[in-house]
Structure 1
């Protein structure tokens, strides 16, 4: 059976990629790099993406996974970013139902707290006008108690509106799959050691794989989309500094803190917005916003201060829940690449705009939001076109950037409509083949997650899984959603890994040890046994 994963692991794969020269090499396998690769492939360019770890290893698998219109940006007067974000939210939801889904948001109001519900409703009026339709609602105290029976009695009203949620790592994979289908190539666990120059212009990169194989890959133009590492490959534009900001989250079983919507409120400690929301059959509490002081080449991890901060936030709004650290399934922390103008600001006050700068043969981009990754890609491609005049610009309105096939009714015998829509959102046209290859018993979910055993099998064959943590932390989210990182299901996962990736018993033990070390260090709360 054909396997994209085994193809990437082939000893000849790097040699195959070394010649001839590429039109575009994208360095960085997060959502920004994936979007640029997708745009380049659709424009008919010969393009390659290189990632030093796993795809979506960095910020793009550790965000809050919100595809939102940027209500906070509208509140701060950034109308353009809010408008662009709303437009992109609409496009993503229409293109990827099942992967990007609308969900109600509920902002809780307390007496004498700013903004009042009147001021917030005025803001939502502007928000709706930018979207072109109304979603705003107002709820009195009685209605709030009906929606959230355990909410604090201090909440006197609420403002409802609509935004969207996704799975950020799966969004990256969906975009990469589309790029691959249009002829792009991908290379993970390959480090770019240095840029190659000729006549004072970048003409390629020197790379080294995890297996210590080295090569020089030439390109007409190189795009540096490495996020918080962007200043390692190229100097920042004058006047800019890269400020890595850490945001952390806690994962609870859905039954422990059930919420029907994204609940938003201001933390009583510092008046920052905090969210409690349903995600992948769990409940998430996040996020923090702190300067990251740990080394960026290590897995970011939550601090004891952040744990206390998030627990106190949740308990302030849901005091009867009496949440403690022992209730937490997992935690995760991501580091945002924020470009600062060298001014001393609170982290939450920093701009989330992206910036692009360049030198001959090299285009660098950093910052920005998950929601606007496609706009960032389009902007970068206008600069790429200066180096690649044969590029064929494509409008998303005439040739869909992301293709969602129709859902066959034959599978309704085994799966409900929501499950089918999720599969087609996650895997696009590959969902039909995924289902065709599945045995009946593989259409069961894994534990309390939404993931099917059939998905896990498909992912191992086709989604470039090199290590066990790639599978459990990013391709699926089993390591976040199941107790003890999902170790209860290791025997079945071992079977599929050995069958499809040819791992022997020694390799399996090595992968389990590697995964558990990562999970204990970065995804389990400190001092929790």
Structure 2
């Protein structure tokens, strides 16, 4: 039986977006549907790092760490506007891990992934190094290593945008209500936010629903097989940045976990994450009092500043859909990804994705298409390893050079605004600014760095429908606008 699509992908987080992009680039007729906004769930609530996972070495996850370190370099080249290097300072606490163990771990971290663009790790005397100014005197010794920052929600949207450019049909706010096999294909019923219902057919169904992967397997696809998913909650808090310099900090806790303290949005810092079992509805996840206390206690143990809950200016929590490997400690549950293919001869296959992390999403997508190759006659091969993401087409992946060129082309832009446009949109900033020749060309100013021209661009090109889509996910303007300014922007979105 002929089908409308080769693949229907359920889930508009990073895994679904990456799989849809990869499939579309292989010439496959692809539909991506997401019940809410893209990156509305876990993929906008991460620690916002592209990293190898230094602590995973303790659990002998060498393949995962190596793959992640290689992908770190791939993403630096593909999206230099939203991925950039960051140095991490690890104050040494001998009660948690001896110095020799840290040194060996950092040596492996430097060499496992064929590091090309990032500087190597080094030891620090925190009594003399400026990076130690914010650290308590009881931690005179430290280490420094490299990883990368990423705007996680934008990474998702850029993958969706590239999928659409390569021919994928993209439908946000469209739920897969049911899916049933018939005549060798999937019949998938889609319900959009306007109340319209449509049934499409597909040769393959991909379940990349993240924390809702089990719900799709059972409730949507009607399978009776157990879904081996383990939900683990990770929470972050945001406070004002309390140190000088661009470096981040990695703090070892007495429970063997580590906490990241990262610069965030220039004058803020992001602290996280927790790792606790979660059994509620993924959409109801929220930061708990115990998690706030936990994160603050770790920071206050190491840093001279004393933070309280009154210092928290924002917070968020996400649910990670990890593959249940029966580990007793949630922090020890594998972060590696696992595929489950439900298929019998003559039936259309269902591929479900468990686990994964932001850093390895591209490789996950590539592996998913490899798994589906027996069902995809005529599809071309892997291609994403050397392809830029939209906006990332910069000479030598040099962001600073691009920013300087953009500032010369639009000299009326204040440097803070030029930097904002360059960071979020890369080379697409020229598409947004067009022939603008003065601040008046940017339209209404809503506060902070948010102007009408950007909001309209996001609505026109990135499926932004609500004020929240723009303020929380496409950008982080919501952290910088007053409550009154946010109300006015919401009114404008509803009226225009």
TM-score in terms of structure 2 length: 0.87
User: How far apart in 1 are the matches of 2:417 and 2:144?
Assistant: 27
User: How far apart in 2 are the matches of 1:398 and 1:106?
Assistant: 31
Candidates 242, 254, 260, aligned match of 1:275: 260
Q: Which residue of 1 aligns with 2:246?
A: 260
Candidates 305, 310, 318, aligned match of 1:326: 310
Superposition map of 1:48-63 within 5 A: 48-63=31-46
2:233 is the counterpart of 1:249: no
Deviation at 1:289, TM superposition (A): 0.6
2:363 is the counterpart of 1:365: no
Contact 1:97 1:422 in 2 (8 A): no
Superposition map of 1:149-164 within 5 A: 149-164=133-148
2:457 is the counterpart of 1:462: no
Deviation per residue, 1:453-483 (Å, 9 max, x gap): 543331122211222222222111233x236
Q: Which residue of 2 aligns with 1:7?
A: none
User: How far apart in 1 are the matches of 2:62 and 2:416?
Assistant: 35
Deviation per residue, 1:18-47 (Å, 9 max, x gap): x97112111000000000011011111111
- SS across alignment from 1:142: coil
Q: Which residue of 1 aligns with 2:77?
A: 94
Contact 2:56 2:65 in 1 (8 A): yes
Deviation per residue, 1:66-100 (Å, 9 max, x gap): 10012122232221111100110001011111200
2:431 is the counterpart of 1:433: yes
Q: Which residue of 2 aligns with 1:522?
A: none
Candidates 64, 74, 80, aligned match of 2:57: 74
User: How far apart in 2 are the matches of 1:376 and 1:351?
Assistant: 15
Contact 1:117 1:159 in 2 (8 A): no
Q: Which residue of 1 aligns with 2:200?
A: 217
Q: Which residue of 2 aligns with 1:14?
A: none
User: How far apart in 1 are the matches of 2:158 and 2:51?
Assistant: 19
Contact 2:467 2:490 in 1 (8 A): no
- SS across alignment from 2:112: helix
Q: Which residue of 2 aligns with 1:126?
A: 108
2:161 is the counterpart of 1:177: yes
Deviation at 1:186, TM superposition (A): 1.1
Deviation at 1:155, TM superposition (A): 0.9
Deviation at 1:318, TM superposition (A): 2.1
In structure 2, list runs of 5 or more residues that go unmatched: 395-401
Q: Which residue of 1 aligns with 2:95?
A: 113
2:198 is the counterpart of 1:208: no
Equivalent pairs counted in the alignment come to 470
Deviation at 1:432, TM superposition (A): 1.4
Q: Which residue of 1 aligns with 2:368?
A: 380
Deviation at 1:210, TM superposition (A): 2.0
Candidates 41, 46, 53, aligned match of 2:29: 46
Deviation per residue, 1:236-288 (Å, 9 max, x gap): 9978621111111111123x4556312011124x2320111102222111111
Contact 1:105 1:263 in 2 (8 A): yes
TM-score in terms of structure 1 length: 0.82
Contact 1:26 1:37 in 2 (8 A): yes
Change (3 A) 1:411 1:264: same
Contact 1:247 1:336 in 2 (8 A): yes
Deviation per residue, 1:161-210 (Å, 9 max, x gap): 100011110110111111111121211112111112114x5513112122
- SS across alignment from 1:356: strand
User: How far apart in 2 are the matches of 1:415 and 1:75?
Assistant: 48
In structure 1, list runs of 5 or more residues that go unmatched: 1-18, 504-529
Q: Which residue of 1 aligns with 2:176?
A: 192
- Root-mean-square deviation (CA, aligned residues, Å) is 2.7
